Chains A and B, each alone.
Chain A
């Protein structure tokens, strides 16, 4: 089975004084999370689309989704305090409701990346047939430097540097096994699912992301997203 998880556990602390978490803000007259879910809804390969939401906003999210999308595969569950908790929340939901098969995969995506393309999602699903974990990345255009205490310690070769986006895709059983082996501290520190899988010794494949697959987390991002969203209203 192929499951999607749309992560919307945040409460929008980086967006400044917004009334609602960032995933609920409007972009081109529609909440960001709805744009994202609509894209996932058109992928027939998903057996279930799990939306992880902060407990306080669950009913709000359910009502909002019901207003826009009539896809029976979408379920809203409670997100966790840390990213790994949120992932495990989805995994436990899957185990409780559908049971777990060895080749089940989870395609995890940030709700606040509404410009995700079908191609990227399908590449994740395809690559998950080869790797236990898949990360979506784009090549770094700016030079990446490593610094500590206000000084550069290293400038890695740019050609080998990528920036991580989402989706990230994991084999559910492999992820759960590794999660159970990690200490409480590791679970809290390792906020990246690809890193969790690397730690377990799994090869993590990459698929090409896209410069447009931006994460709308700050007011500046929202301004850029609004420009992209309205750049071509004359297309017939």
Chain B
């Protein structure tokens, strides 16, 4: 069978390419993507704002690592056709008992170090799929991957921190910070949650936690633990602000990606005995937790559905580029591709 793959070939240039696949590929499942969503990382490739060397090495490449779909054929007998599944973008090429696949240097990742999900059909291994039960199905499933990343960040905090969790802070007012806050609300039900951001209009979407503008932090506010979900140029100021505010022996999970080195106040890290922990992407277990949270808690599902701010019906390449362009102009929320290619 010929399969269409939609690859980014240059700045804002998406082209269809034809590949040949076998229906009967042993050990594989064929999935029809149904919903996808656009990540900032995809946009950095799309707009050509990654380093020239990175672009030269990775393009052409199919974008999108946030996607769900429907099984149309399974040569492994794991899923029945019609099953709704989330597709895990981390592709492990080896395992380590102590280190999760998402941290292994040998793992590849969709829309980064291998082609993403923007295809007519995806041929994938069953270990990279998890069923989405009927109760969890929703347009927000498109970005379950990001929810799983939030789960991983919160889990990293849980496994790193000392046992003190009265007040927890999350830095960032974007989509990832919002999802991290939604997840933290459930995984730290007894804690007081504070979300710190620069833009009040974005913080105003959060009604389930306290919000604080970063230039109006009350002098007496101290936190036990924190997650940084700012990234980019804001990483430095955010991390240093956390170091200032956090209590001694606090843990800071760093989840925001920065293209440049970040200068932080290590003197205070030393003096307070602060623990810094990095987190990236997510594991299969995190995906399962994310699905369970959405399936079993209606409030979580509705809070996440608020992020669906733009749904684009996609039947031709122009719809894809329009969606990426529209997404760039959005202040808050996610662009979901209702995929019919």
A212 to B120, CA, bound (A): 14
Say yes or no for A232: interface residue by CB 8 A criterion. yes
- Residues in chain B near residue A119, CB distance under 8 A: 120, 315, 340-341
A206 to B2, CA, bound (A): 24
Across the interface, name the chain A residue whose C-beta is closest to B120. A118
A42 to B69, CA, bound (A): 14
Across the interface, name the chain B residue whose C-beta is closest to A28. B20
A38 to B17, CA, bound (A): 18
Across the interface, name the chain B residue whose C-beta is closest to A114. B2
A212 to B82, CA, bound (A): 28
- Measured as residues with beta carbon below 8 angstroms from the partner, the interface class of chain A is 20 to 34
Known: A38-B1, A229-B2, A233-B19. A44 touches B72 (CB 8 A): yes
- Residues in chain A near residue B114, CB distance under 8 A: 236
Contact A44 B81 (CB under 8 A): yes
Chain B nearest Cβ from A124, distance in angstroms? 13
Say yes or no for B32: interface residue by CB 8 A criterion. yes
Contact A118 B32 (CB under 8 A): yes
A39 to B18, CA, bound (A): 13
- Residues in chain A near residue B115, CB distance under 8 A: 235-236
Across the interface, name the chain B residue whose C-beta is closest to A229. B20
A68 to B316, CA, bound (A): 30
Binary contact readout A31-73 vs B (1 if CB under 8 angstroms, 0 otherwise): 0000100110110100000000000000000000000111000
Say yes or no for B243: interface residue by CB 8 A criterion. no
Which listed residue, B18, B24, B32, touches A228 by the CB 8 Å rule? B18
Contact A38 B341 (CB under 8 A): no
Say yes or no for A218: interface residue by CB 8 A criterion. no
Which listed residue, B1, B62, B81, B340, touches A235 by the CB 8 Å rule? B62
Chain B nearest Cβ from A183, distance in angstroms? 40
Which listed residue, A30, A44, A117, touches B20 by the CB 8 Å rule? A30
Most buried by A among B23, B32, B72: B23
Which listed residue, A44, A118, A212, A232, touches B19 by the CB 8 Å rule? A232
Contact B121 A232 (CB under 8 A): no
Contact A232 B23 (CB under 8 A): no
- Residues in chain A near residue B16, CB distance under 8 A: 212
Contact A232 B17 (CB under 8 A): yes
- Residues in chain B near residue A235, CB distance under 8 A: 5, 7, 17, 19, 62, 115
In chain A between 153 and 197, which residues have their CB closer than 8 angstroms to a CB of chain B?
A: none
- Residues in chain A near residue B17, CB distance under 8 A: 231-232, 235
Binary contact readout A1-37 vs B (1 if CB under 8 angstroms, 0 otherwise): 0000000000000000000000000001110000100
Chain B nearest Cβ from A209, distance in angstroms? 12
- Residues in chain A near residue B62, CB distance under 8 A: 235
Contact B23 A69 (CB under 8 A): yes
A208 to B20, CA, bound (A): 23
Known: A35-B2, A122-B340, A236-B114. A115 touches B18 (CB 8 A): yes
Across the interface, name the chain B residue whose C-beta is closest to A126. B340
- Residues in chain B near residue A44, CB distance under 8 A: 72, 81-82
In chain B between 146 and 201, which residues have their CB closer than 8 angstroms to a CB of chain A?
A: none
Contact A117 B120 (CB under 8 A): yes
Say yes or no for B30: interface residue by CB 8 A criterion. yes
Chain A nearest Cβ from B299, distance in angstroms? 34
Query: What would be 19 A-B contacts, judged by CB atoms less than 8 Å apart?
Result: A28-B2, A28-B20, A38-B1, A41-B23, A42-B1, A42-B30, A44-B72, A117-B120, A117-B341, A118-B120, A123-B315, A208-B315, A212-B4, A212-B18, A229-B20, A232-B17, A232-B19, A233-B19, A236-B114
Question: Which 6 interchain pairs have the tightest Cβ spacing?
Answer: A38-B1, A232-B17, A28-B20, A236-B114, A42-B72, A235-B19
Binding site for A on B (CB under 8 A): 1-2, 4-5, 7, 16-20, 23-24, 30, 32, 62, 72-73, 81-82, 108, 114-115, 120-121, 315-316, 340-341
Given known contacts A35-B2, A68-B23, what 8 new A-B pairs fall within 8 Å (CB)? A28-B20, A38-B23, A41-B73, A115-B18, A119-B120, A208-B316, A230-B20, A233-B20
